[in-house]
Amino acid sequence: MAKVVYEKSRGLTDNPLSYCPGCTHGIIHKLVAESLVELDILERTIAIAPVGCSVLGYDYFNCDGVQASHGRAPAVATGIKRTNPDKIVFTYQGDGDLAAIGTAEIVHAAHRGENMTVFFVNNAIYGMTGGQMAPTTLIDMKTSTSPFGRQLEGTGQPILVSEMLSQIPSVYYIERVAAHDIPHLTKAKEAIKKALQNQVDGKGFSMVEILGTCPIGWAKTPADAMEFVKEKMLPYYPLGVYADKASNAGQGEVK
Amino acid sequence: MISEYTAKHRLTFADNLCKGCDLCAAACPKKIIKMDKTRVNAKGYNPAMCFDIENCIACGICAKICPDSVIKVERDV
């Protein structure tokens, strides 16, 4: 009797993904879709797609979806969740969307402690527009707008979103995970499921930051890009739980 | 276009979804997957193939790392 070890999740539609070869968006989509199916919430979930590479996310997740203006996904999610409190609402945002133009929205949604789930995919570059420097681009990393490498002087420090948001008392759960190999994917899926379960239980604002790749923007092969995450991104973006009110862990502990 | 490779276990590739990114080949612990340079799929990529299904251990790693959900893995067929 054959046992299926892995097949495409029914949480994804049959639409072929528009992402470049080897892009981790596809892998992270699978983790989110599998989590929605395993928690049995797929039928009552509403996805909020961002602007950026994952702008067509609503075409790929097998649930209802809305696409928000650049960076405004948390604001749109707030409206949808408040008017449909029985629905599960998640936003899926890249670093250009969440950490650049949408910084205001995410900070205010976190301060309001909205009962929603945010998936923040950080690949340290603006992928869709042609590999320009993003606020999350690492120091000395070469992009099309920092051809000699990003310099601390003039462009500042790469934004640490999880660390920043974990300081907010009304945040329930924040964890940073990575999507560069199988052990980390297993951990990432656990975090994604936890963030969604928190919303089901009405706990409040949960966010998972997922470190991903942009092989085309980084000018690397997909396999080399995975190595880059391991060697260059993990030291600056340490993985771990930054806030978890369930266990009072992390920096965002509330008195 | 579906390619099936069967021995003790079975790998099924949805060839036309493959973008030839090589992540499955890099991740495979048995190194039995490669991009088939003799074929071009509907997207214009050399699709992934298994050249030694006898050594497959049905761990599912290739399928889990595949961004485009190309591969289905079945154990003990």
Identify whether A17 is part of a domain. Answer: no
pLDDT of chain A along its 255 residues, tens only?
789 999 999 999 999 999 999 999 999 999 999 999 999 999 999 999 999 999 999 999 999 999 999 999 999 999 999 999 999 999 999 999 999 999 999 999 999 999 999 999 999 999 999 999 999 999 999 999 999 999 999 999 999 999 999 999 999 999 999 999 999 999 999 999 999 999 999 999 999 999 999 999 999 999 999 999 999 999 999 999 999 999 876 554 443
Q: What is the ipTM of this complex?
A: 0.95
CB contacts of B34 in chain A (<8 Å) are none
A17 touches chain B (CB under 8 A): yes
Count of domains forming chain B: 1
Query: Which domain does A75 fall in, by range?
Result: 25-249
Burial A68-99 (b: 16+ CB within 10 A, else e): beebbbbbbbbebbeeeeeebbbbbbbbbbbb
Q: How many domains does chain A have?
A: 1
Q: Which of B10, B22, B71 sits opposite A2 (nearest CB)?
A: B10
Answer whether residue A254 is part of any domain: no
For residue A41, being part of any structural domain is answered with yes
Assigned domain for B77 exists: no
A229 interface with B at CB cutoff 8 Å: no
State the Cα–Cα distance between residues A33 and A31, nearest whole angstrom: 6
- Which domain does B62 fall in, by range? 2-68
Indicate whether A167 belongs to any domain: yes
pLDDT of residue A255: 35
> Is position B37 within any domain?
yes
Residue B73 lies in a domain: no
Q: Find the CB nearest A5 among B45, B58, B69.
A: B58
Q: Is B60 a domain residue?
A: yes
Task: Check if B73 contacts A (Cβ < 8 Å).
Answer: yes
Instruction: Tell me the C-alpha distance between A93 and B24, whole Å.
Output: 26
Does some domain include residue A241?
Answer: yes
In a domain, A195, yes or no: yes
